[in-house]
Structures are given as C-alpha cells and as structure tokens.
Amino acid sequence: MPPSRHQISAAVCCAQGSELSATSANRADSPVRGIIPIACAVLLIASACTAARSTATDPLRGTALACKPATADEVARQSRQAVLAAEAVLANVRAERRVPEQVIRITPAASREETSDDTANIEAALQRARLIRAETGQPTTLAFAPGRYRLRRPIILTEADSGTSGAPLRFAASSSGPVILSGGVPLAQQPLPAALEGLLPLGQRSFIHGYAVPPQAVPSRPFPRLIGTVYAKPASFFAFQGDRPIWRSALPHVGYAVEPVANPQPGPVVVPQVTVARGLSQLLREPSLQAGGYWTFDWAYEENQVTLASGKSAAGRPPSLAIPQLKTTYAQSPLMRYRLLNGFGFINRPGEMAYADGVLAAYPWSDSAPIEAAAIDHLVVVEGAHDITFDGLAMQGARLDLVAIGGSRDITISNAYLGLAAGSAITIKNSQGIVVERSVVADVGEYGIAMQSDASLPSSNVVVADNIFSKVAQLTRSNRAAILLAGHDNVAVGNEISDLPHQAIVFSGARNSIIGNEISFVNLETSDAGAIYAYHDLTTAYNTIAQNYLHDITTSSALTQVGPARYVRDIYLDSWTSFTNIENNITDTDAMSYYINSGVGNVVRDNTWFLSEGPSGQIYDISHHRGRALGHYVFDDPKSRKLASCSNLAERFDPVFLRDGKSRGNVIARNANIGGQSILVPAALAKAQRISGEKMLPQALIDRSQGLARLLDIARQSGSPIGPYLEAADRRGALQSLRYRNRTGHGSLRPLTD
C-alpha cells in the first residue's frame, strides 16, 4: 500500500536541507520542478516536524512549540527548503496504481434530455460501491460514459462512501468525450407579458425571448442583498446557455457610472441616492431593479434593491433613486461608482437577461442550445468522508457552490471543469488533505476555491496546483478571490489566474506557500488591494511567496479614491502580517510591487521588479489603525483573543512592538529595480528596518519583444537568481493540455477575442 499524503508530508517535512530529486513531475507542463511549498518547510520552529498532521501541534496557538524571532537568513533558508512535500503529495496523487479494482459503469438517462434525472442512477451506483467495499475491500470506480448527467438533488458523500489511501472511491470520466454533471433545468420559451415586453429596447426585441422559470430554480430571494464587506451569500438565481453564463443586464453596459456626493453620509449605515437624468418613468416600471457599486471604498462592492427616493425635481436636482440599507463600517465616498442591474430595458446584447416573478427575458448567445437555470444549490456535498477522487468531470449549474467539502480528508479533484455557478466552485471547511489539480475554474459568482479552517485544526494541507482560474467573483465583485487559503500549511502552486475584478490569491494563517503562479489582469475594478494579499492579524505569519510571475496589473483609471488607498499592489501584506518571505518573484506591472502594512521580520529578497514608474515597494504604519493600537487587536478584540492566550507571544514578537504596533525588523535586500524608484519608507520607521540598496537599472533595459523569456534574460543580467519555477513560469502555455482548457471563461471584464 503506498504511503498516505500525511505520511509523506511528515517525512518530507523533517528532511531539512534535502534536495528535490528528479521525479515524474519534471515533465514540461508541471511547475513543481524546483521549489515545492509545504506546511512544515517554512516553519521557523524545528520541532514542528516531529509528527504527522494528526498529532502536530499548532505553534500559533502557543501550546507546545517555542516561537523564537527569526533572522533573515533563517527565513530565506527555510523558504528554499520549502521544496519537497507538495511535490510528494502531487506525485502520490498522480501515480499510476495497478491495483485490481471493481468498476461500476454509469450512462446518462435514456429519456429526453430536457426532462431526464440521473441522480437516482448515480445514487444506486454509490450503494453498489458501498457493498463491494464492505465485501472485498477493493478499490471501486464509478466510470461515467460521455454525456450530460442532469442532477435534481446533490450527490451526498459521507463516511459510508469513504475509501482508503490505497483503495479510494473514484469518480472517473470517460476519455472519449466530455462528462458533464449539471444542476440546470432547461427553460421553456414563452411570450413575455405585454408590460415586460414594452420595456425591452425597440431595436433588440426580435432577439430577446421570454422563458418560464420553474419554482425549483428560484431561491426565496432571486438576487440576494450584498450588504457590508463580510457576508454569507445565500443561493441566487443563475442562468446559462451551453458553456456560457447569462448575466443580468446592466446600465451602463460596461464599467460604472460615477456620481459626486455633496454631503457624504458618515456610516455605518449608508443609503446612497443616484440621480436619474432621463428615463425615470421607464425605470419606475422595472419590476425588480437593483443597483450595485462601490459606495464607500473602491474595494467594497455592495448591492441592493432600488427604491424611488424623489419623484420630482427639486432646486434643479433631477429625480433620484435610493439604494437602502447598505452597511459598511465606512463613510460614503464623495465619488460613487455604481450601475443599475436587472433592467428589462437594459438588455441589448447576447448573454444578458432580466428576471422577475417567474419570468425570464434573455438575449441568447445562439440558437444551438437551450437556456437553463440552476435548480439545485450544490452538485456534490462531501461531509465527513475521506479518500475519494474525482477525475475528468465537468460540473456546472448551481445556485450556490458546485462542490461543498466539510469535515473531510483526502479528497482529490483532478482534470475537472467547475463553472457556471452563482456561488463558489469549491468550498472547503475544516478539512484536511484536499487536492485540486489540473482543473479549470471559470464563470462563478464568488470564490474559485475557498478554504477555511478554525483554530482547532492544526493543519489543513490543502494543495491547489496547476489550475486555470478565469472570470471568478462575477456577482460579488470584491472581497472574493480565485484562491482563498484561510488556515495553516496550504499550498497554491503553478496556477494561472486572470481576469478578476479583485484579488487573485488571499491568505491568512501560518506556513502557507504561494509559489510558481502566473497572475495577470486582476484587481480590474478595485484599489487598495493586492494581487496576492495577506490579512487578519498576528496569526498570519511564516508564509512563503516565491517564484511567481505577475504581469499586466494596473490601477484602473476609473477608480474614485484618492491618496495611498487608491493604488493596487502586486503583493500586499496587510494587518501586521509577519515573518513572511517574498523571494525570487518577477513582476512586470504598473502596480507597486510590494506593500508591508506594519508587521515584523518579513523578508523581501532576490526579486526582480519591472516598473513603469513609482517606488518598487512601501512599508507603511498602521499602528493606530482606526484610532486603536495593536494592543487592542491582540488583547481586547474578541476575534483575536486566541492571541492573548498564546503563551509564547512575547517570544515571537518584540514586546515593544506588541505595545506600539510599529513595523520593525523587515529585511529588504538584493532586489533588482528596473525603471522604478526606491522603496518608500517613513523616516520614523526606516531605522527599525534592515534595508540595503536596490540594484537600480534604467527603464530602457525593459524589452518585452520576446515575452517572459526576454524578461528572464534581463533578470539574470541584473544578477537576480532565477529559480526553476520561473524558468517554466509561462503557465498559460504549460497548461494548454488541460482537459477543459477551452472553457476558460466568457465575459467582458476586459477586451477579449472570444
């Protein structure tokens, strides 16, 4: 029986100083050829490698391990040692096992596709698999023939469906054609009621059709309010056609309207009013009009229903519409960015729709496929199960999240397509050993992959490797990322991430590794944000960000904020993130390369920044953020009381820092700055850092004529080390062989040839 990924992680973690051997992962399309991030490798406490995950103790909870302040050399050395365990995990996942197995074959329902239901057929196969494992203990595979499998309820997997590390339960798709699990129900075309048809643009009426939406496809609130910056989004109405989403119509059709506010409301409850220059009478006839926008900050999208605020012009002011009950902790912006949504009168191009009271009006992409509406919240729910793999399946059509994993371990999703959902592609809660690899995630309303674990779980060991993410967070817009790593010992490696309104990778917790990813065209409509962003509090520490390639990231000219909060950063360490290593990355963007918002002991070394203007990075002081010192967050804030109970807090952090919260001990060294200015550090903080001169080179050296290859040559000439991930940093090219590569997202966030 091959070793489990937990045994591998523990053994590899303890092999301090070992070198990565040549393995099967050295093939051209695998980035895991040089530096492999993992759990214990970045940890600055040697005794953390004494046991496997099930017995490891979380150093950030202050129970057993001593946390001593790190030197820059220790941070960098152990970052370079983060080369082993994720590779072992992936090699274990991808290894061909010639073990006798029982195969249960499944074919799509033979009835008319529009009315078929394959749920019972799959559930019956699962019951057979349970009996086989109980009688023989053999590995069992559910082999899906090509076709579309319509689900009318989620496939629920529990402990009873679990396999073992040597004999997992497998869901395997045929290699001879796509295998699609769909939660959609085709909609019957019908004439629109006269009142709604009268709202449609005259020039487009012949292209727009009406559809009857069955009750099972409509949540209790079709388009939930998005209020505040932290919320649990409920199920939403979601329509699609073939492999393309049908989004709500918007006005303006692209971007946002901008409106000045004479007397901004102080908050926390803000009720914006937007003026209506013309067409008020038609807007008032819209049955379900919403408005979404950035009403306070350029990183806080909120959305709600629209009501009439003033029907008559007063003192020369046009009539206005109100967006009630927005609730952030911030004051209203003096310049609001917003758009009106779900107007029947706004539909004017393929892929747009408006919905109200069981009736859908949609402009189809084509006549080749029916328009469908998601009719179930989830396609697959894994609760308390283990040792299950999904290989080659396409999953689409959910009112919430396509796959929900909770309290489970050793679940692998490979070679998949996950898209066309109102929620996230995959949510992972309090689970361990989850691997998502070589898959495509596109056209979802919230996160791509969102993992969260509570403080009682010492390690998560989630691996997100070699995937493509595109068009994520299309409904919630802000504060949702392609990858969320919230916990300890997680890995995001070798992914291609592009075309997002907000951030690419967000992380909190300890010993997470973000290595070898290619990130572009993100933060397209937000500011005060990072393509790679760390948050939370002092528990976010001992992480690694290395050998990533970031390009084509800029601060949008449409943003309305002013001052430091206006800008986008490539790598953003927020809220006292500490002891994090940023090493050997290449950025070629119009954004600031890195930003340290207080924090201790971070190391920024051996990176190459290609800049068009401005400083390469900044160390900022938030010691009295919102009028409260760091001590409040550590000892008084209920959300951070776990820190107050950390017996080794004083060992890890300078006691002076714990009192004043001012950044200190950050190391900035040996970075090549091509075309930009030096790091920006307030004089009051400069003496507390260890900053050595950057290698300043003229902008004239920047030559993009041969793409990344030329940039790597320039980096070598500047003396920057080039790791093996950067040698193969063109993830877009390397991932061309993914099974569902052609389904990488549709939409108009930026101009694309489609």
Q: If you write DSSP's letter for every residue of 512-580 in order, what string do you get?
A: -EEES-EEES-SSS--SEEEEEE-SSTT-BS-EEES-EEES----TT----SGGG-EEEEEE-TT-BS-
pLDDT computed for residue 25 by the predictor:
33
Neighbour tally for 365: CB within 10 Å: 18
Neighbour tally for 716: CB within 10 Å: 13
Neighbour tally for 348: CB within 10 Å: 16
pLDDT computed for residue 719 by the predictor:
86
The contacts of residue 446 (CB under 8 Å, 6+ apart) are 233, 401, 422, 423, 424, 472, 473, 475, 476, 480
Residue 588's closest CA among 456, 709, 717? 709
Residue 569 has φ and ψ, to the nearest 5°, of -120, 150
Query: Helices 5-13 & 85-94, crossing angle to 10 degrees?
Result: 150
Kindly list the distances between the CA atom of residue 510 and the CA atoms of 62, 442, 691, in Å, as whole numbers in the listed order.
13, 28, 25
Angle, CA of 411, 417 and 420, to the nearest 5°: 115
Which position has the token pair 């199960």?
Answer: 385
Stretches where the chain sits below pLDDT 50 are: 1-69, 313-314, 641-648, 747-754
Residue 449's closest CA among 478, 510, 410, 492? 492
CA distance 352 to 406: 34
pLDDT computed for residue 43 by the predictor:
29
Q: Bridge partners of 273?
A: 322
CA distance 496 to 519: 6
- Cis preceding linkage at 350, omega within 30: no
pLDDT computed for residue 313 by the predictor:
47
Between strands 290-294 and 301-305, the pairing is antiparallel
- How are the residues of the chain apportioned to helix, strand and coil, as percentages rounded to the nearest 5? 20, 30, 50
pLDDT computed for residue 423 by the predictor:
95
pLDDT computed for residue 407 by the predictor:
94
**Predicted model pTM:** 0.88
- Give per-residue burial for 136-169: e unless 16+ CB within 10 Å, then b: eeebbbbbbeebbbbbebbbebeeebbbebebbb
Residue 80's closest CA among 5, 20, 7? 20
CA distance 197 to 205: 8
- Cis preceding linkage at 154, omega within 30: no
Residue 189's closest CA among 448, 367, 411, 56? 367
